[in-house]
Amino acid sequence: MAKSVDSNPGVSFGVAQETELILQSIDDFIEQEVQPIADDLGETVTNPRLGHEPNGRLTDEVVEAHQEIRRKSAEAGFYAMNMPTDVGGEDVSAITWYRANKHVAKSDVPLSTNVLAGPEGPKPLLAQAEGEQVEKYLKPAMRGEKSTAFGQTEPGVGSDSPNMETRAEKDGDEWVLNGTKQWITNAPYADFIQVFARTSPQEEAGRHGGITCFIVEPDEYDIGSLNNAVGAEGVQAEVHFDDVRLSEDRVLGNVDSAFYDAMSFLGLGRVEIGATAVGHAEWLLDKATEYANSREAFDENIGKYQAVSHKIARGRANAFAADTVGLKCAWMLDQGEQAISESSILKWFATNTVWDIADDVVQIHGANGLAEENPYMDHLHRARIQRIVEGTDEIQLNTIAKQYGVET
């Protein structure tokens, strides 16, 4: 995934002209294609009670809106533009991808998260598709015509994923898959799931070996309860696999090496989350600044009080620092480095930063911050989720300590 943006190995914090044009084009796309769809849906897309069925699922019109935006974004060349050109991507640099994710998050237009491929879209692991997998799964996902899900987390196994209980055993020419996954984003709506299962015991393959990724289609698994996490209502679900028989051509990548393959791309996922966190943080700070300069209390704008101005100042400092770390991580990925400790620092620092900022912005707005018609509590909920997904705070800190020599 290493991409060279130029022959200069140094770091530049300037925005390359090509990247600037992409960001401007994304703005135009959001205005012309996303905003009208969001306007048509109105509160259906901004009010969780209106955008969900009684059982918790997203309504059909909301799901269709997501799908439409992904398809249009793919046609415009944005959706999976970080993927290699030989699978239909634009092979943009990690720095450009970071800036684009931050830019979309900062726009805060409802449904704009679908402009760039998230957990439902193609990732480097799917780029390992071969043979019929390319036409059946990879290319439709690149075009936004099919969505996927990443089936790794289980009810009793989260961060300790190598101890997964889902198993796949060889029976003749087929694999037989059994197990349960939980908190799987986009599972209720996916056209296929990339499922991780242990295919060789740990005592033979090692802790991180012996895990294989399989492509599984909706008629081969059952959706259990929806995991309605606050801030991601109707998006995640439990998935059950009961004696699912899969042919050899459903193996994605190499047998027994899926965990290593997935871990090699963790840096990219954490850069994406970091970029989103920074984008949300900057948007929140802009709103808080506007409010502090216009809201009066005791005959003065509330921004004149240090209790308010210092919250905004601390937020600006931390968002600035997080953005700097994000650019460093993206630059390292472009140089072909994994950025293990750096991406963990980014993920931990950026998500905690946006969490603190979101809480402060709610406080600055007082009762208005709690009101349903305002978006601030929604941001607080989203910020809380980001401290869990792609590795919890504690996992990031463990990784940082280990990478810097602490024996853990």
What's the CATH code of the domain at 326? 1.20.140.10
Q: Based on the fold, state whether residues 82 and 105 are members of the same structural domain.
A: yes
Tokens 């989103």 correspond to 276
d(CA 219, CA 222): 8
Domain C-terminal end among 223, 257, 291: 257
Q: Based on the fold, state whether residues 281 and 209 are members of the same structural domain.
A: no
Taking only the tens place, the pLDDT of each residue in 230-244 is 778 889 999 999 999
Q: Is residue 11 part of a domain?
A: no
Q: Is residue 219 part of a domain?
A: yes
Residue 55 is predicted with a pLDDT of 86
Q: Based on the fold, state whether residues 182 and 253 are members of the same structural domain.
A: yes
d(CA 400, CA 282): 26
For residues 180 and 224, the answer to whether their CB atoms sit within 8 Å is: yes
What residues pair up with 236 in beta bridges, in sequence order? 185, 227
pTM to 2 decimals?
Answer: 0.93
Residue 5 is predicted with a pLDDT of 47
3-class DSSP state of 299: coil
Instruction: Give which of 191, 213, 80 is closest to 137, Cα–Cα.
Output: 191
For residues 157 and 186, the answer to whether their CB atoms sit within 8 Å is: no
Domain limits for position 161:
148-257
Taking only the tens place, the pLDDT of each residue in 116-130 is 999 999 999 999 999
Q: Based on the fold, state whether residues 380 and 298 are members of the same structural domain.
A: yes
H and E: helices and strands count for the chain: 15, 10
As given in the structure block, the two tokens for residue 194 are 């990339």
Residue 45 is predicted with a pLDDT of 85
Residue 341 is predicted with a pLDDT of 95
Tokens 């480097």 correspond to 124
d(CA 290, CA 301): 11
Q: Based on the fold, state whether residues 270 and 172 are members of the same structural domain.
A: no
Q: Is residue 273 part of a domain?
A: yes
Q: Is residue 408 part of a domain?
A: no
Q: What CATH number did the domain enclosing 223 receive?
A: 2.40.110.10
Q: Based on the fold, state whether residues 336 and 234 are members of the same structural domain.
A: no
Q: What CATH number did the domain enclosing 118 receive?
A: 1.10.540
Helix (H) or strand (E) holding 300: strand 300-301
3-class DSSP state of 356: helix
Q: Based on the fold, state whether residues 45 and 92 are members of the same structural domain.
A: yes
Residue ranges of the chain whose pLDDT lies below 70: 1-11
d(CA 240, CA 172): 23
For residues 148 and 67, the answer to whether their CB atoms sit within 8 Å is: no
Q: Based on the fold, state whether residues 114 and 32 are members of the same structural domain.
A: yes
Q: Is residue 308 part of a domain?
A: yes
Helix (H) or strand (E) holding 176: strand 174-185
Beta strand pairing status for 174-185 and 192-198?
unpaired
Q: Based on the fold, state whether residues 368 and 284 are members of the same structural domain.
A: yes
Residue 266 is predicted with a pLDDT of 80
Q: Based on the fold, state whether residues 279 and 338 are members of the same structural domain.
A: yes
What residues pair up with 296 in beta bridges, in sequence order? 301
Residue 82 CB-density burial (10 A; 0-12 exposed, 13-18 middle, 19+ buried): buried
Q: Is residue 12 part of a domain?
A: no
Q: Is residue 134 part of a domain?
A: no
* CB within 8 Å of 206: residues ≥ 6 apart: none
Residue 228 is predicted with a pLDDT of 77
d(CA 217, CA 221): 7
Tokens 């059994």 correspond to 178
Q: Based on the fold, state whether residues 240 and 329 are members of the same structural domain.
A: no
Instruction: Give which of 184, 179, 91, 196 is closest to 142, Cα–Cα.
Output: 91
Query: What total number of domains does the chain contain?
Result: 3
Q: Is residue 138 part of a domain?
A: no
Taking only the tens place, the pLDDT of each residue in 60-84 is 999 999 999 999 999 999 999 999 9
d(CA 196, CA 207): 14
